[in-house]
Structure 1
């Protein structure tokens, strides 16, 4: 059995699954001040003590890290950057928070400028005085040689509670994005670490020793204890959970679009021939352009509980959510109230929903039913418009899926998959506006929890082989090994695969889910004195996102 839990902003959903089928499902209210209690209540709502003893894995998706960034609830960070020449410091992200120091590796990973101990000692004194003990350390070419980052991190041992190093976050070259990624990792580390401690108490309370995973932005899982080092990877795990939950219902031979209509937001995702689209450079959150590998989604501030009001004689839906629908004793009219008045949703208190529409009808000189229809029409039209805008934007540039770059691909969805609480009541209308058949999967209201439950562990590894210096570097963990000057590309790939499998198993991956892909491969000649003296070979490998092969 597998337990999937999605800690959302309004509800915490849980499912108990076996053989890809939901045995039980539940929704409990989320208490942001007691996440441990929410997770425990969500567990007890679907799993008996006997079920818990039979669990083989527990997977959690959560909005905690995302909300911390969105609401700017971030810890102070000592941001240390080794910039070197070529880029003006003022053009780098977070320039006003950056402490620039000496130390520079060139593009081949060779030291071009040494660190200066006096600068490091001055920073140590400053951080101690300012009581900053969360640090982020980033060097421009640290993925080619992380020694400077490692030395700076070691210098603060004993003083800093945590140091995030740039090369640990991603092996991909993009200095500005690495700065933003490493900064966010440090800024949410304490919050995430407390959650990991709480989840350890949760497992202890269950009285079982079972693997516990957390969902990442790319739709893959990571062991919850291992995630303590990489909390930034869990940002945007909520939309990723939706995509993984939708995946079993997506056509493998046609393009598709999915909408997840929640209480506050609607999330849109696209699929090319059954594969979710990927953010090729990394996700962006609250203006921070990162290297976080993530699935491509778009979130709009429109949901079933969005505040509906009349402003200057016109209806306005959202963007705020003031609470539940008035039909559920909420404070203001919502689209859910409109759906109830129209008879589409047989939920809540119909008399209270009618009063919600009556509160808007007078100023618009319409009947409550006319107002309700106008609200639903506007909601569906906005969702359809945003879907079309997203498709147009994707088709204006190369299309990347979790598997590959699709050269010349033009996305042309043939089906709409709608999930979330309000989905059954608006799917057909949105589908008609998009000229697409609409599907509402069974148990769509808990699809995030089932998506988390079925997600496989994902890992990425970047390698750089320099045959002239006879050195192979593993970007993410800083390892190096000696290689032959005559080593072939295939041999490098084999070495990388072996290391990738080690990392994946350490992260909790099962043997049957270990599908290794070569995501990128480039080879360049190294020229000195008009002669080729070696090769520079770059390889990126991945355990691709997807669903586990089987469920016990």
Structure 2
């Protein structure tokens, strides 16, 4: 039996799967005391089931997504070592940024020593501004982390309680701006993510569950929960990935559809092409800045059932963030869920309080309660449809989408919109109508995220770096360094070596039977030049076991 649990900003959903059949589902309120929410969800689905029967537990979460969408992450100071090259005017980030002299070259050699006086001034300024979290990133620190570690040592000597994140620990790939954003967001979200992980382990321990515990990555793959603490940003679109896999598992094989997951805090958008989720080839883009996080082509829109509503003169507007639950469920302010309650499209909560929320929102507009609710629903639908149309501009640039269009033999967009999540039943028909599409509300739509987590195929990664001039290669995940034996070592042999190590890791983890097709997630080659002559090559290769779902989900349940 498998358990899937999705921890959202509003609800925590859980499912128990037994050979592809849904045995039990649960939807509980996500409280600030996360442990109590997890225990309640587990108790609902494990009633009468021995914990020993559970083989695997997979989590997805919008914790990081919601923090970033609502800009509720911790403030972070930034110290970077860009070295020679671009003008420093190119390094503009929405946080105090201190640029330090020093340089490591692309082979990992120190060519300019670190200026510790500048480091000292930077730390003094960050302290004066009240910062205690710092992201430190050098341009080629993935080749040699000496400068990053020197800065960390200096900061910790003065401020041992400060949180310091180093770029080489967060992202091993090159592309300096992406590594800066990835490291900065990791620093900004780590504390809250560690709270999430601690709560999960406590809940499973208290209920006697000893199964393997995974969390869904943004690309639809999985990683062990205990390992995810090193890079919480990898889970940034874990929730949207879960809803996409959930829809994939609930629909017939080969379907093409836009996926709209309407939650309490955000609405997540994704795309299935001929039954497969569309992958973003450039990585996650946050506030128009690319990161090194590999992800499905999804977007989280900060609009959900619990979004606070407000007024600008005679206009009803969606305000930024979530103040709490809907007014009809005891919350502090009007929300779209209150409007759906008035319109009979949501069936929980106090109807009279929902009407009160609408009257409060429409004070002075001389509109009935129902008319105000219709305006709210139209506003939410228009906002989501606009975001979907904007996303199509990105989706249509993806190579997989272009291949799909060629196979259709004409330029065409999907004609099906699938709604999942707590708010889908009240809005998906209107969203599909505005797009001239067919609406689909699959069975178990309200817990599709948890289903997606439960059926996600376990995945493993291997990151190989080989330097033929030095004659050595390293495997990052294993902490292994070995000798390159072949004299004619090339890119294809580097990929083959990475695949061999992936096979070993899969066998050790008991996953060799479900290894599937190996996916190449990164392949970079750099010439080593000395005295104007190429004397070797550096290969940076990343491979991953096959992503996807283990099986489709049938009927059943109780």
TM-score over 0.5 (shorter chain): yes
**SS of 1:225's equivalent?**
helix
Paired position in structure 2 for 1:500: 502
**Preserved contact between residue 2 and residue 454 of structure 2 (Cα < 8 Å):** yes
SS across alignment from 1:4: strand
Q: Render the CA deviation track for 1:441-493: whole Å, top value 9, x for unaligned.
A: 11111112222222234444444444344343556777543323312433211
SS in 1 for 2:169: helix
Which runs of 5 or more structure 2 residues have no equivalent in the other structure?
554-558
Out of 477, 484, 487, the residue aligned to residue 485 of structure 1 is 487
| Total equivalences in the alignment | 545
Partner of residue 271, structure 1: 272
Q: In the alignment, what sits opposite 1:172?
A: 173
Q: Residue 53 of structure 1: CA displacement? A: 2.7
Structure 2 CA distance for aligned equivalents of residues 328 and 187 of structure 1: 31
Q: 3-state SS of the aligned residue for 1:188?
A: helix
Deviation per CA, 1:179-228: give whole Å up to 9, x if none: 22223323433443344334333333123422222233223322222122
SS of residue paired to 2:60: strand
Counterpart of 2:231 in structure 1 is 230
Scaled by the length of structure 1, what TM-score is found? 0.83
Name the residue aligned to 1:213: 214
SS of 1:269's equivalent? Answer: strand
| 1:381 pairs with 2:379 | no
Q: Which residue of 1 aligns with 2:556?
A: none
- How far apart in 1 are the matches of 2:519 and 2:163? 33
**Alpha-carbon offset, residue 35 of structure 1:** 1.5
Q: Secondary structure at the match of 1:15?
A: strand
1:173 is paired with a residue whose SS is: coil
Q: Distance in 1 between matches of 2:125 and 2:380?
A: 52
Aligned-partner Cα distance in 2 for 1:298–1:254:
20
- 1:55 match: 54
1:30 shift after superposition? 1.7
Q: Answer whether contact 2:66 2:266 (CA < 8 A) is retained.
A: no
CA distance in 1 between counterparts of 2:129 and 2:428 reads 53
**Counterpart position of 1:415:** 416
Q: Are 1:519 and 1:540, in contact at CA under 8 Å, matched by a contact in 2?
A: yes
Quick check: 1:470–1:485 contact (8 Å CA) kept in 2?
Answer: no
Within-5 A mapping of 1:1-80: 1-32=1-32, 34-48=33-47, 50-69=49-68, 70-74=70-74, 79-80=78-79
TM-aligned CA distance change 1:502 to 1:181, over 3 Å? farther
TM-score, normalisation: structure 2: 0.82
> Greater shift after overlay, 474-483 or 167-176?
474-483
Q: How do residues 81-230 of structure 1 correspond to structure 2 at under 5 angstroms?
A: 81-94=80-93, 97-98=96-97, 100-101=99-100, 103-114=102-113, 136-146=135-145, 149=148, 159=160, 164-230=165-231
Aligned to 2:468: 467
Query: Are the aligned partners of 2:60 and 2:215 in contact in 1 as well (CA < 8 Å)?
Result: yes
Distance in 2 (alpha carbons) for counterparts of 1:118 and 1:367: 67
Deviates more, 1:319-328 or 1:259-268: 319-328
Task: Pick which of 527-536 and 444-453 moved more.
Answer: 527-536
- Contact 2:5 2:12 (C-alpha < 8 Å) held by counterparts: yes
From the superposition, tell whether residues 343 and 477 of structure 1 become closer, same or farther in structure 2 (CA, over 3 Å): same
Q: CA deviation at 1:178?
A: 0.8
- Mapped partners of 2:311, 2:117: distance in 1: 62
Alpha carbons of structure 1 residues 549 and 40: separation in structure 2 relative to 1, 3 Å: same
Say if 1:17 and 1:171 are closer, same or farther in 2 by CA, change over 3 A.
same
- State whether residues 272 and 411 of structure 1, in contact with CA within 8 Å, keep that contact through their aligned partners in structure 2: no
Q: CA RMSD in A?
A: 4.0
Give, in whole Å, the separation in 2 of the partners of 1:183 and 1:357: 40
The answer on whether the counterparts of 1:6 and 1:12 sit within 8 Å (CA) in structure 2 is: yes
Instruction: Within 5 Å, give how 1:239-250 maps onto structure 2.
Output: 239-249=240-250
